[in-house]
Amino acid sequence: MFKIFVLLINKIKVLKYLNTTDLGHMPSRKRAHLINSCTGYKSANLLGTKSKNGETNLAIFNSVIHIGSNPPMLGFILRPLTVKRDTYKNFKETGFFTVNQVNKDMIKDAHHTAASYNEQISEFSKTNLTESYLDDFHAPYVSQSSIKLGCRYINEYEIKENNCLLIIGAIEHIYLSDDILEEDGWVNLDKANTVAIVGLDGYALPKLLNRFNYSKPDEPTIPIT
């Protein structure tokens, strides 16, 4: 009985507890790491823009989300405009931006686009990432990305609680490798080696576990084979 009790004790995980007071007293960078990572994996995308004067910009974002499929729309969070945001300025001037998924071979250069360069210096010139233009779209795509989306700026909504902006874009162009598109329209991100972001600076390569048929009440969950 004693041995069994010891084994059970050894399996108990001690939970770390933090409340709003603890978070308020935490150093800002440590708090940012905690809050950004505790909510799970996030998408990793490079947003490409070009100013009306022809200056290109490329920036890593971990907040791109699905908004709707009919019509096709996506969104992303933009931090407060208390400092200059070249991505924002460019798509507000021109109305266009691209979303380029990051794969495992791009993570070092993709992360470097977070560096604060002068507006006249393109992140393309400071990395091994290559800009490309498809079908006369104004904003640059990233050649190395397997999934590229050409988007038109639609609207923005202020998040009053922290002065961030939710940007809404219409997906007007999609380019992706033929071998990652399944017959039912599902995109196999495993084959694309698409990475996810953990927190602010971690990159992970997720592995698909399963797909399931559409769920219906009182019916068994059936894997898609």
For residue range 182-218, list pLDDT tens digits in order.
999 999 999 999 999 999 899 999 999 999 999 999 9
Query: What is the number of other CB atoms lying within 10 angstroms of the CB of residue 53?
Result: 9
Give the residue among 28, 78, 62 at the shortest CA–CA distance from 201: 62
Average pLDDT over the chain, rounded to whole? 93
Task: Kindly state the tokens that stand for 101.
Answer: 């998924």
pLDDT of residue 14: 83
pLDDT of residue 9: 55
pLDDT of residue 196: 97
N-to-C CA span, the chain: 46
Q: How many CA atoms lie within 13 A of 124 on its CB side?
A: 19
pLDDT of residue 12: 72
Task: Kindly state the tokens that stand for 52.
Answer: 């009306």
Q: Look at the block and give the residue holding tokens 């007293």.
A: 25
Measuring CA to CA, how many Å separate 5 from each of 8, 14, 140? 5, 16, 62
Whether residue 15 has pLDDT greater than 90: no
Identify whether the C-beta of residue 47 lies closer than 8 Å to the C-beta of residue 35: no
pLDDT of residue 189: 96
In this prediction, residues 124-146 reach a mean pLDDT of 97
pLDDT in tens, 62-98: 999 999 999 999 999 999 988 889 999 999 999 999 9
Q: What is the pTM of this model?
A: 0.90
The domains located in the chain, with CATH, are 43-204 (2.30.110.10)
Task: Kindly state the tokens that stand for 162.
Answer: 């922290």
Task: Kindly state the tokens that stand for 144.
Answer: 């190395």
pLDDT in tens, 157-170: 999 999 999 999 99
- The rounded Cα 3 to chain-centroid distance in angstroms is 48
Residue type, 32: A
CA–CA dist 205, 225 (Å, integer): 23
CA–CA dist 26, 34 (Å, integer): 10
Q: Look at the block and give the residue holding tokens 């109305």.
A: 95
Measuring CA to CA, how many Å separate 115 from each of 98, 108, 200? 19, 12, 13
Measuring CA to CA, how many Å separate 193 from each of 96, 158, 185? 26, 34, 18
Helix (H/G/I), strand (E/B), else coil: 172: strand
CA–CA dist 219, 212 (Å, integer): 12
Residue 194: DSSP 8-state = B
Helix (H/G/I), strand (E/B), else coil: 218: coil
